């Protein structure tokens, strides 16, 4: 699968930006949360846990950012991935079977934006955060969602997870207490422009009261692909403890208050990650963000079969009449889009569209 990426690009195994994100308390919470995610999936969703184990580094491409580090979340969860810099996106041969994750802020040039649009249209899955709403999503997919113009304070808001059978929301909470969502200073609230096509997965009444719009996580389809955007960050850097329940020691909380199975609770019992100074509220909030990321990786990996079926045809003969550099190589997998007489419009898994003779398929 490494052929998905242009060989001339430098692929980073570590983040491009090296600054530390998050306070010491939340670093411990994020580490502990990843333990809960892994153990819960192993005990309660073994098939999905096996899917995560089969993820290859080329399945997930992370575009690094200054203010978020989903690569740290993926590394802690043991999920393989590749990291690239924003300026490299325009030249990437992104494949429709991949998951593209863009860290905040998501600054990339016009070529990068067009590459992202083609990637999603072809069947790719895009997962973005915070300022990438304005820098990537609005530019590549106008008319779905937008930044509402009211930047947040450095804040934490309580969120409500949509009641549904959506696999992206599977096991997103640990108990009946609503998790909290951290908003960095100047995070971008999400305004829905197309209510018929945008599904709001997580909302916050507190977010709406303070900053004008309630959505925290939104999802929509574009072409054959999908886009998921969340307010604030993948990697939870701050939290607030507001209630007695949230102040409870994490070890007791896991044992007494959560909806975890008996097997999961036993697997977590006595783990050093759940020390006395780690409280339930911090663990619960860090867990929610990490579980959503894990769910997306699982769903993307499962969806690769659909993509393979969609691109079930292949170029079997050269196209001698094609302009120089516009012909498709023999063996290129394509989806048929339209027929006009003896000509067929096709799209490659990289999102490029061409007219080719019907005889070449």
Instruction: For residue range 298-342, list pLDDT tens digits in order.
Output: 999 999 999 999 999 999 987 766 666 667 889 999 999 999 999
Provide the terminal-to-terminal Cα distance of the chain, rounded to the nearest Å.
24
Are both 211 and 356 inside the same structural domain? no
pLDDT band at 7 (very low <50, low <70, confident <90, very high): very low
Residue 4 has pLDDT above 60, yes or no: no
Are both 34 and 181 inside the same structural domain? yes
Residues 28-66: tens digit of each pLDDT? 888 899 999 999 999 999 999 999 999 999 999 999 988
Please give the sequence-ordered ranges of beta strands (E in DSSP) within 165-319, or none if there are none: 180-183, 190-192, 198-203, 215-222, 225-230, 313-314
Are both 8 and 72 inside the same structural domain? yes
Of the candidates 309, 328, 349, which is a domain's last residue?
309
Are both 133 and 52 inside the same structural domain? yes
Q: Which of 4-18, 205-219, 222-236 has the highest mean pLDDT?
A: 205-219
Residues 305-316: tens digit of each pLDDT? 999 999 999 999
Q: How far apart are CA 15 and CA 101, in angstroms?
A: 13
Are both 87 and 49 inside the same structural domain? yes
Of the candidates 268, 288, 309, which is a domain's last residue?
309
**Contacts of residue 266, Cβ cutoff 8 Å, sequence gap at least 6:** none
Of the candidates 266, 285, 309, which is a domain's last residue?
309
Cβ 65 vs Cβ 73: under 8 Å: no
Are both 303 and 319 inside the same structural domain? no
Are both 253 and 348 inside the same structural domain? no
Are both 249 and 349 inside the same structural domain? no
pLDDT band at 164 (very low <50, low <70, confident <90, very high): confident
Cβ 216 vs Cβ 236: under 8 Å: no
For 184, 218, 234, 285, the CA distances from 52, given in Å and listed in that order, are 29, 23, 18, 22
CATH number at residue 251: 3.40.50.880
**Contacts of residue 140, Cβ cutoff 8 Å, sequence gap at least 6:** 113, 114, 116, 117, 120
| Domain range for 199 | 2-309
Are both 267 and 206 inside the same structural domain? yes
Are both 222 and 342 inside the same structural domain? no
Flag the least confident range among 119-123, 126-130, 180-184. 180-184
pLDDT the model gives residue 244: 56
Q: How far apart are CA 273 and CA 89, in angstroms?
A: 37
Are both 317 and 301 inside the same structural domain? no
CATH number at residue 326: 2.30.30
Are both 190 and 320 inside the same structural domain? no
pLDDT the model gives residue 320: 67
Output the pTM of the full model. Answer: 0.89
Cβ 194 vs Cβ 142: under 8 Å: no
Q: Dihedral of CA 145/111/330/96: which sign?
A: negative
* Tally of domains in the chain: 2
pLDDT the model gives residue 193: 98
For 120, 175, 189, 257, 271, the CA distances from 280, given in Å and listed in that order, are 37, 10, 27, 10, 15
């Amino acid at each position: 699968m490494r052929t998905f990426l242009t060989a001339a690009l430098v692929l980073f195994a570590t983040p491009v930006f090296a600054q530390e994100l998050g306070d010491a308390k939340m670093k411990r919470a994020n580490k502990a949360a990843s333990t809960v995610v892994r153990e819960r999936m192993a005990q309660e969703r073994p098939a999905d846990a096996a899917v995560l184990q089969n993820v290859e580094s080329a399945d997930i491409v992370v575009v690094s950012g200054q203010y978020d580090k989903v690569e740290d979340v993926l590394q802690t969860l043991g999920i393989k991935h590749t990291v690239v810099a924003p300026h490299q996106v325009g030249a990437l041969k992104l494949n429709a079977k991949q998951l593209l994750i863009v860290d905040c802020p998501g600054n990339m040039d016009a070529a990068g934006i067009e590459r992202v649009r083609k990637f999603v249209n072809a069947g790719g899955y895009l997962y973005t955060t915070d300022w990438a709403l304005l820098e990537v999503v609005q530019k590549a997919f106008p008319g779905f969602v937008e930044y509402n113009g009211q930047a947040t304070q450095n804040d934490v808001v309580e969120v409500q997870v949509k009641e549904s059978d959506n696999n992206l929301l599977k096991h997103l909470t640990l108990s009946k207490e609503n998790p909290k969502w951290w908003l960095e200073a100047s995070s971008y609230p999400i305004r829905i422009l197309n209510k018929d096509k945008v599904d709001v997965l997580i909302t916050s009444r507190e977010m709406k009261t303070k900053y004008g719009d309630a959505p925290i996580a939104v999802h929509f389809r574009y072409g054959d692909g999908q886009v998921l955007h969340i307010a604030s960050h993948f990697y939870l850097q701050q939290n607030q403890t507001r209630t007695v329940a949230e102040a409870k020691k994490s070890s007791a909380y896991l044992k007494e208050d959560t909806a975890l199975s008996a097997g999961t609770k036993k697997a977590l019992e006595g783990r050093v990650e759940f020390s006395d100074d780690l409280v339930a509220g911090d663990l619960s909030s860090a867990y929610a963000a990490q579980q959503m990321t894990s769910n997306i990786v699982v769903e993307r990996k499962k969806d690769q079969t659909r993509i393979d079926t969609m691109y079930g045809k292949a170029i079997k003969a050269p196209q001698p009449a094609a302009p120089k550099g516009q012909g498709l190589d023999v063996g290129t997998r394509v989806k048929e889009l339209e027929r006009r007489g003896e000509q067929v419009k096709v799209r490659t898994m990289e999102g490029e569209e061409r007219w080719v003779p019907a005889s070449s398929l």
